[in-house]
Amino acid sequence: MRDSYKKNNDPTPSHVRLYPRGAFCLFMLTALLFSCSGQDGNYAQYGGSFFMPPPDVDTLVLYDINDPPTLDPARSWGTFDGLLVSQIFSNLVRFNQKAEIEPDLALRWEMSDGARCYTFFLNPQAKFSNGRSVTAEDVRYSFERVLDKDTASSSRWVLERIETIRAEDPLTVVLTLKEPFAPFLGLLAMPAASIVPREEVERCEREGIPFGERPVGSGPWLFKEWRHDQYLDFERNEEYWGQKPNLKRLRMRIISNAFTAIAEFETGRIAYINPLPEAEILRWKTHPQWKKYTELTNQLSADMLVFNCERAPWDKEENRRALCQAVETPLVLECVREGAGAVITGPIPPGLPGFDPDRKLFKYDPDASRELVKQNGLDKREIVLLLPSSDQFVSSTGVIMQALWKKIGVSVRVHQAEWVTYRRMLREGEFDIAYRNWFADYPDGDNFLYPLFHSSQIGSGNMARFADPEVDRLIEESQKEMNPSRRSELLTQANALVYEKAPALFLWSRAKYIVTQPWLKEYTEPLIFNGTQFLAERIEAPAVDLKHKED
């Protein structure tokens, strides 16, 4: 058939002479162009300004790398979808930019019964965007929806400490906990605890559309449109019962490549670069004009290399410590993240109760480590360092660790696995040491201790499979302790004990650089992922020649 047709080809012998050097020259030229492109003056031709003007002064355009899976509070567990959920919905309480608890739907609340019972008094002004008032019944419905087994919510744990939910009257709701839990209000500010209107959820069910595709809530922003893999559009809720945002529209673009995002920023089409990739930090931080707009924000997070404490030889504390002492974490931090972050002594990051700024790092002592390695036979077999294939600095960290541990005689094989595989291997303990990073769900030291190192969390968040009765006891006590200073004391003790026992090599708490456009005013990067509702932001068109503005 197709073979039956005789195909033609070049009948004339070609005598083309080629110079392979040509290719090289071309690339050298490109390289030259890149390196010579001075950082000043790039923008001089555009009205003498180093930045591009905003395309629209009423719209805040931000971005993230991946399309969120859902906007349904019950199904959301990521940081980006969590941030978006918190724009559309309200909670009983919410986080501000500094991750402090503020009233949201609840005007005020009372605690009783030894901190087991919380009574919330709702704001009578609060309305869903469909016009109906938010009532105590909605709170009950929303929470029960998350707790309902059929919803299969991955955030069920957020509300599982609640025993009963009672709507006293339309504006009063009483939550009773199984046991006192000091950071409980933090849980209520999480996206999973958002209040949803029952009639809208049920309408979506009837129409066969996931609620996460057409969310309706009582937040400051209305969900407008979702073009998957392109953008999500939000509009100011003109009927919002609280302080309304300054800007009219919010657009969240999906830009799947960090370099592309920078190009978009440089052409003025997005309002920030968040976060600045490690490789770019120096360029912006030292730029004569941009450095003013490049800011460092701490993240409530901890990066660590967890040991598989159930697998020999990592069941012995001294073996784990031997590896920890062979690493100079400040130097590694400086190298892989350009110093963006702070070294930690235990899982709790700076800024949270339990972090002890006076505590010293393990003494850097590779000689002692080498001794121990030889003595305990840690050099006998190759150990597996499991990494997620996500950021470049993670794999750089892995390679550096490999080199550092090689110096003390331990041979390491880096196994970089794609995300889901990484998660499964982590969960099933198929590693010796694994990279792990943890971002706060709620701003409390407990969030870094209980899920990661309490023995009851083995098989869930405790991937190190670390079990220590003393650590367990301190964590449990801190959960029930309502006095802030005594609680802080308990957390500090637990944190220090975890550091000493070394179920993980604690690396650092991340900080990130963010560059904002000069025309974006009043933007504050929240300390916790859903700690902003973009209320204060303004865009002020700069006085530059706008005739160069494109599309």
Partner 1 sequence: MKALRHPYILTGGAIALLLVAAAIFAPWIVSYEPDAIDLHNRYDAPSWNHWFGTDEIGRDVFSRVIHGARISLLIGVGARTMGLIIGVLVGSVSGYYGGKIDALLQRIVDITMAFPFLLLVISIAVIFSEGLWPVFIALSAVMWASMARLMRSQVMIAKEREYVAAARAFGASDARILIQHILPNTYAPGLIWWTMGLAHAIMAEAGLSFLGMGAQPPTPSWGSMINYGSQAIRVAPWVSLFPGAALAVTVLGFNLLGEGLRDVLDPRGQSQQAPDGQQ
Partner 2 sequence: MGSYVIRRLLMMIPVLWGVITIAFFLSRLAPGDPADAMAGQRASEELRQQIREQYGFDRPLHVQYGLYLWNVMRGDLGLSYDSHRPVTAIIMERFPNTFRLAFSAMVAAVILGVSAGLISALLPNTWYDRITMFFSLLGISTPVFWLGLLLMYFVSVRMRLLPPSGFGDGGIQYLILPAITLGTQSVAFLARMTRASMLEILNEEYLRTARAKGASPFIVIVKHAFANAAIPVVTIIGLDFASYLSGSVLTEKVFSWPGLGRHIVTAIAQRDYPVINGTVLFFAVIFILINLLIDVLYAYLDPRIRYD
Binding site for partner 2 (CB under 8 A): 1-2, 4-5, 7-12, 14-18, 22-23, 26, 30, 33-34, 37, 42, 46, 66-67, 69-70, 77-78, 149, 152, 154-157, 210, 212-213, 227-230, 253-257, 259-260, 263-264, 266-267, 269, 418-421, 423-424, 427, 441, 451, 459-461, 548, 550-551
Distances (CA, A) of 459 to 28, 58, 255, 427, 504: 53, 48, 34, 6, 17
For tokens 């609060």, name the residue: 126
Cα separation, 135 vs 121, whole angstroms: 10
Structure tokens, 56: 């629209």
**Sole window of 118-126, 276-284, 528-536, 538-546 interacting with partner 1 (rule: CB under 8 A):** 276-284
Site for partner 1, residues 476 to 535, rule: CB under 8 A: none
HSE at residue 113, side-chain half, CA atoms within 13 A, is 12
Under the binding rule (CB under 8 A), the answer on residue 398 touching partner 1 is yes
Under the binding rule (CB under 8 A), the answer on residue 392 touching partner 1 is yes
Residue 304 or 332: which CB sits closer to partner 1? 332
CB 242 within 8 A of CB 105: no
> Is the bond preceding residue 313 a cis peptide, omega within 30 degrees?
yes
Minimum gap (Å) between residue 279 Cβ and partner 1: 4
Site for partner 1, residues 24 to 43, rule: CB under 8 A: 24, 27, 30-31, 34-35
Residue 164 or 259: which CB sits closer to partner 2? 259
H-helix or E-strand spanning residue 120: strand 117-122
DSSP string of 435-494, one letter each residue = EEEEE-SSSSTHHHHHHHH-GGGBTTTBTT----HHHHHHHHHHHH---HHHHHHHHHHH
Structure tokens, 286: 């030292």
**From 177, 384, 399, 535, residue interacting with partner 1 (rule: CB under 8 A):** 399
Residue 399 or 536: which CB sits closer to partner 1? 399
Distances (CA, A) of 468 to 163, 312, 362, 456, 493: 28, 17, 20, 10, 14
**Sole window of 10-18, 354-362, 443-451, 457-465 interacting with partner 1 (rule: CB under 8 A):** 10-18
**From 127, 166, 283, 311, residue interacting with partner 1 (rule: CB under 8 A):** 283
Site for partner 1, residues 224 to 263, rule: CB under 8 A: 258-259, 262
Residue 4 or 485: which CB sits closer to partner 2? 4
Beta-sheet pairing, 221-227 with 162-169: unpaired
CB 444 within 8 A of CB 188: no
**From 59, 79, 97, 416, residue interacting with partner 1 (rule: CB under 8 A):** 416
Interacting residues with partner 1 (CB under 8 A): 3, 6-11, 13-20, 23-24, 27, 30-31, 34-35, 258-259, 262, 277-280, 282-283, 331, 335-336, 387, 389-390, 392, 395-396, 398-400, 402-403, 414-418, 421
